[in-house]
Amino acid sequence: MPKKIIISKHGGPEVLELKNFTLNSLGPNDIKIKNLAIGLNFIDTYHRTGLYPVKLPSGIGLEGAGVIEEVGSEVERFNKGDSVAYASPPLGSYSESRIIPEKIAVKIPNGISHKIAASIMTKGLTTYYLLNKTYKVTTRDTVLFHAAAGGVGQIFTQWAKSIGCKVIGTVGSNEKIDIAKKNGCDFVINYNEENFDDKVLKITDNKGVDVVYDGVGKDTFEKSINCLKVRGIMVSFGNSSGPLSPIDVPKLLQPKGLFFVRPSMGQYLSTGDELQEASRNLFEKIKFGMIKIEIFKEYKLNEAGQAHKDLESRKILGPAIIVPDGK
């Protein structure tokens, strides 16, 4: 009988329980996957804590990669034995095996491992829509990205530099400065030692940046507004420091005519064609060496609680995964 992580109540990492479970029956448009690697993402902690409420009891995790063991009677794009990856609801990727809809899976190209695919689907697809859909970044742009040494930040910076724009990154420790620079940041600011808004304005000759990408939330939002040029765009796509307070539009946005957007993957990759296009772009960046992935740490399935502790204490300095069989 396969095992998976289940949450029966919201709370800290201790609510993650490893249990035996019975798979649902395979629907005509479903595929059964043996997970070989599972992505670890900060959004998983939001589901666990209830910041993003889920109906309980629930599985957890959105991202994984593995091999198809069985296909439904109406599945057209996949066959038994195909290597696939996914990064969409329903929750439940923290499992040894699972059944998912065919429409949320993509084939993994030759030359990309299951571990790499599982580590980059959510982060890479997020980067894709941030740079190409939420705001179309060009060589003329200067962008500010918070948590530039994190999982999304490392992929984002490499992708942004392949476009040719200027990237200013913030980090929370001197240890992370070298990581951000290694991945291509033109300037790196330790926001625990400097006022990042003052520094950004100095770097840009008081013009400000074209766009701020902020996955941190509460702790960085108002200073990020200060960093934007007239008619700049504030992209708030995460809450790692806590959710935003209600926005005072006349005070914060109106003086410079700023744009504010709160995007999510579901809004930009809602159709099969959009998902396939985004995945193709992501895999091409990796295959041609424009994005290099180094997995920072691997956990076993029964170490999911420790993985969440490490996520929330900022100990994970890059893409991390859970390996169900521990190999």
Please name each of the domains of the chain with its CATH number.
3-121+271-323 (3.90.180.10), 139-263 (3.40.50.720)
Cα 153 from Cα 244, distance rounded (Å): 20
pLDDT for the residue 88? 92
**pTM for the model:** 0.89
- Nearest CA among 65, 61, 110 for reference residue 84: 65
Give me the residues paired with residue 87 across strands: 63
Q: Hey, is 141 helix, strand or coil? A: coil
Burial annotation 13-29 (CB, 10 A radius, 16+ → b, else e) = bebbebeebeeeebeee
- Nearest CA among 32, 159, 19, 48 for reference residue 86: 32
pLDDT for the residue 220? 87
Cα 211 from Cα 227, distance rounded (Å): 9
Give me the residues paired with residue 7 across strands: 58
Burial of 289 (0-12, 13-18, 19+ CB in 10 A): exposed
* Percent of all residues in the chain with a pLDDT value above 90, rounded to a whole number: 85
Cα 1 from Cα 10, distance rounded (Å): 26
Cα 277 from Cα 280, distance rounded (Å): 5
pLDDT for the residue 306? 98
Q: CB–CB of 210/138 below 8 Å? A: no
Cα of 286 vs its chain's centroid, Å: 16
pLDDT for the residue 244? 73
Helix ranges (H only) for the chain are 42-49, 114-129, 151-163, 175-182, 196-203, 221-227, 249-252, 265-268, 272-287, 304-312
Residues of the chain with pLDDT under 50: 327
- Residue 190 corresponds to which amino acid? N
pLDDT for the residue 327? 47
> How does pLDDT run across 181-201, given as a tens digit for each residue?
999 999 999 999 999 999 999
> How does pLDDT run across 83-111, given as a tens digit for each residue?
999 999 999 999 999 999 999 999 999 99
Would you mind telling me the total number of residues written for the chain in this entry? 327
- Residue 159 corresponds to which amino acid? W
- Nearest CA among 235, 231, 175, 225 for reference residue 200: 225
Eight-state DSSP code of residue 79: -
